[in-house]
Amino acid sequence: MKLGFAELLTWFAAIGTIAIISYLIGKNLLTRWRLGYRLENLDESLRDDASLKIEVITSAPQGSEISTSVPAILLDESE
């Protein structure tokens, strides 16, 4: 079976496209896994990592949960 130039070019384009998509998916999965691992291990260098965009830093005791629908109420200690 002899392939013509157009068929050969089509096969190379298909294989190249699949390779690029596989690479991007693999890179994304690896990045997510590394971030999760670093968060689980409380990695302090996350704040200084240039490859990450930090939107909010919340200070709370370990094990705390953040709920966006619960209003905060200021407690007045003078009463």
Q: For the segment 19-33, what is each residue's pLDDT rounded down to a tens digit?
A: 999 999 999 999 999
Quick one: tokens of 40? 């689980």
CB atoms within 10 A of CB 38: 15
pTM of the predicted model as reported, rounded to 2 decimal places: 0.59
The answer to whether the beta carbons of residues 66 and 58 sit under 8 Å apart is yes
The answer to whether the beta carbons of residues 60 and 66 sit under 8 Å apart is yes
Identify the DSSP state of 44. Answer: G
Q: Which residue has the higher pLDDT, 21 or 62?
A: 21
> Any long-range contacts for 66-72 (C-beta under 8 Å, 24+ apart)?
none
